[in-house]
Amino acid sequence: MTRHYQIRIHNRQAGTEYTLEVPDNRYILHSAELQGCELPFACRNGACTTCAVRVLSGEIYQPEAMGLSPELKQQGYALLCVSYARSHLEVETQDEDEVYELQFGRYFAKGKVRFGLPLDED
């Protein structure tokens, strides 16, 4: 039996807010688009951070979210393109670059790379 949950989405970039009903067996982003919501997305495969949100309340299930580390998932981040609602939810879109930095920033902490070496080692 399919359950439906109410989701409130705060789109920080656009300054908009949506409240919609989504079934538990359909990706949240797809359901939102069918209801006229304009949200950020890119790959639709859970591999980038364009559709990243922070879960403010509720439970989300995202087994295919390859673009988020387990640590970020534990901190409440989710990718709407491959997420299912498991309760009523409130989420807030995130800045793609901020999420990317949280996830990968430690790998790029040495600065820009040129010819395979950090710039300060030329």
The domain total for the chain is: 1
* Phi and psi angles of residue 29, each rounded to the nearest 5 degrees, phi first: -60, -45
47 in the Ramachandran plot: left (φ > 0), alpha (ψ -120 to 50) or beta?
A: alpha
Quick one: pLDDT band at residue 104, thresholds 50, 70, 90?
A: confident
pLDDT in the model for residue 122:
46
User: Per the structure block, which two tokens stand in for 116?
Assistant: 């395979």
Report which of residues 61 and 107 the model is more confident about. 61
Give the CATH number for residue 112.
Answer: 3.10.20.30
Q: Is residue 99 within 8 Å of 77, Cβ to Cβ?
A: yes
Q: What is the pLDDT of residue 4?
A: 98
Q: What are the tens digits of pLDDT across the range 33-52?
A: 999 999 999 999 999 899 99
Average pLDDT, whole number, for the chain?
89
Domain carrying residue 74 = 4-121
